A and B are shown apart, each in its own frame.
Chain A
Amino acid sequence: MPTIEIRGLCKRFGKKVVLDGLDLVVPQGRNTVVIGGSGTGKSVLIKCVVGLLRADEGEIRIDGEDVTKMDERELVRVRQKFGMLFQGAALFDSMNVGENVAFALRRLRRYPERQIQDVVEEKLAMVGLRDIQHLTPAELSGGMKKRVGLARAIASEPEILLYDEPTTGLDPIMADVINELIIRMRESLGVTSISITHDMASAYKIADSIAMLYKGKIIEVGTPAEIRHSASPVVSQFVEGRAVGPITAEHEEFVRFVRGSGESGERKEQ
Chain B
Amino acid sequence: MAKEGNRIGLNAALEKFGTRVFGMLEDLGNIFVLLLQCVSWVFRPPSEFRNIVKQMEEVGIRSMPVVLVTATFTGMVIALQSWSGFQRFQATSLVGSVVALSITRELGPVFAGLMVSGRVGAAMAAELGTMKVTEQIDALVTLATNPVKYLVVPRVIAATVVLPILVVFADLVGILGGYFVAVYLLGANSYVYINKTYQYLEFKDIYTGLVKAAVFGFLIAIISCYNGFIAQGGAEGVGRATMRAVVASSMVVLISDYFMTSLMF
Q: Is the CB of B46 within 8 A of A107?
A: yes
The CA-CA distance from A70 to B138 in the complex, in Å, is: 18
Q: Is B262 part of the binding interface, using a Cβ–Cβ cutoff of 8 Å?
A: no
Q: Is the CB of B136 within 8 A of A90?
A: yes
Which of chain B's residues have a CB closer than 8 A to the CB of A72? 146
Least Cβ distance of A269 to chain B in Å? 11
Q: Is A7 part of the binding interface, using a Cβ–Cβ cutoff of 8 Å?
A: no
Q: Is A135 part of the binding interface, using a Cβ–Cβ cutoff of 8 Å?
A: no
A-contact 0/1 string along B206-219, CB 8 Å cutoff? 00000000000000
Q: Is A152 part of the binding interface, using a Cβ–Cβ cutoff of 8 Å?
A: yes
The CA-CA distance from A236 to B214 in the complex, in Å, is: 63
Q: Is the CB of B138 within 8 A of A86?
A: yes
Which of chain A's residues have a CB closer than 8 A to the CB of B142? 50, 52, 79, 82-84, 153, 162
Least Cβ distance of B58 to chain A in Å? 11
Interface residues on A, range: 20 to 34
The CA-CA distance from A5 to B138 in the complex, in Å, is: 22
Chain B: CB-nearest residue to A108? B144
Which of chain A's residues have a CB closer than 8 A to the CB of B33? none
Chain B: CB-nearest residue to A152? B143
Q: Is A204 part of the binding interface, using a Cβ–Cβ cutoff of 8 Å?
A: no
Least Cβ distance of B262 to chain A in Å? 39
Q: Is the CB of B138 within 8 A of A47?
A: yes
Chain B: CB-nearest residue to A107? B145
Which of chain A's residues have a CB closer than 8 A to the CB of B131? 92
B-contact 0/1 string along A212-226, CB 8 Å cutoff? 000000000000000
The CA-CA distance from A88 to B138 in the complex, in Å, is: 12
The CA-CA distance from A91 to B134 in the complex, in Å, is: 9
Q: Which of B127, B134, B142 has the most CB of A within 10 A?
A: B142
Q: Is B26 part of the binding interface, using a Cβ–Cβ cutoff of 8 Å?
A: no
Interface residues of A in 83-103 (CB under 8 A from B): 83-84, 86-88, 90-94, 103
The CA-CA distance from A79 to B141 in the complex, in Å, is: 8
Q: Is A117 part of the binding interface, using a Cβ–Cβ cutoff of 8 Å?
A: no
The CA-CA distance from A83 to B138 in the complex, in Å, is: 12
Which of chain A's residues have a CB closer than 8 A to the CB of B136? 90-93
Q: 18 A-B residue contacts at CB 8 Å?
A: A79-B141, A79-B142, A79-B144, A86-B135, A88-B134, A90-B134, A90-B135, A91-B136, A92-B131, A93-B134, A93-B136, A103-B145, A107-B46, A107-B143, A107-B144, A152-B143, A153-B142, A156-B144
Interchain residue pairs A-B with the least CB separation, the first 8: A90-B139, A90-B135, A84-B142, A104-B143, A86-B135, A90-B136, A80-B144, A52-B138
**Residues of A in contact with B (beta carbons under 8 Å apart):** 47, 50-52, 72, 76, 79-80, 82-84, 86-88, 90-94, 103-104, 107-108, 152-153, 156, 162
**Residues of B in contact with A (beta carbons under 8 Å apart):** 46, 127, 130-131, 134-136, 138-139, 141-146
